[in-house]
Amino acid sequence: MVLKILTTWFLIIFIVLIPINYRSLMAIKFSSIFQRSSTWQIKFLITILSIIMAFFVAFAFVYIIERIKLVIY
C-alpha cells in the first residue's frame, strides 16, 4: 500500500515539475553556446534537462520518505 502511494507521489511530482523546470530553464541564455538558427536544438536540450531535473527531485523526495518510513517502523 505504501509503495503505491509513493509511486503515485513520484509520478505527480515528476509530471508537475517538468513544465516548471522547462519554464525556468527558458530564462537561461543558451544561444551563446549554440550557433544561429538552432532553436530546435536549444529546445531539445531544455526539454531533456527539465526531464532529468524533475526525475532527480521526484526520486529524492521518494527516497527521503522511504528512509523516514524505515526509521519509524
pTM, whole model, 2 decimals?
Answer: 0.85
For residue 6, give the nearest of 44, 61, 57, 46 by alpha carbon: 61
Amino acid, single-letter form, for residue 35: Q
Q: Over 90: is that where the pLDDT of 49 sits?
A: yes
Which three three-digit cell numbers place residue 38?
Answer: 538552432
Which three three-digit cell numbers place residue 44?
Answer: 531539445
For residue 54, give the nearest of 42, 43, 62, 65 by alpha carbon: 62
According to the model, what pLDDT value does residue 51 have? 97
Amino acid, single-letter form, for residue 39: T
Instruction: Place 25 in a pLDDT band, splitting at 50, 70 and 90.
Output: very high
